[in-house]
Amino acid sequence: NTIEFSGALHATIVKQVLLKNPSNYTLAYNVILVGRDAHDFSLPKGNTVTIPAGRQGFVNVEFTIRFLHPAEAVLLLISNKVDGIDGATMVFSLKAEVKSIEPLGIIRCRSPCYEL
């Protein structure tokens, strides 16, 4: 599965990954970001998620577009044993690209073009 982040340069985009737990046991996951541009992505709610039995949980992934080149990383969810049960390891591809460029501000100044 691929999660796409697209927006204006310098915009911060947050995506949520929905995790469902249909089992009768609590599941826990360690969340890891790896890859070429992993340092540009972040997990604002921390790198662990616990999903009670029969419920659902979310993993928030945040990305601030700082460069014009496309960014790529991988989101890994690795199960921790809780109640003696392991969940499946999950992998998501993260891709980001700039869709537009908006100026942060305008500076007006006067200066001579040439002076002896």
- Residue 88: CB partners within 8 Å, gap ≥ 6? 79
Q: Model-level pTM?
A: 0.81
What is residue 77's predicted lDDT score, i.e. its pLDDT?
A: 95
**Does domain 2-100 bear CATH number 2.60.40.10?**
yes
- pLDDT tens figures, 48-71: 999 998 999 999 999 999 889 999
- pLDDT tens figures, 22-42: 888 899 999 999 999 999 999
C-alpha distances out from residue 72 to 10, 15, 68, 69, Å:
17, 15, 13, 10
Separation CA 72–CA 43 (nearest Å): 15
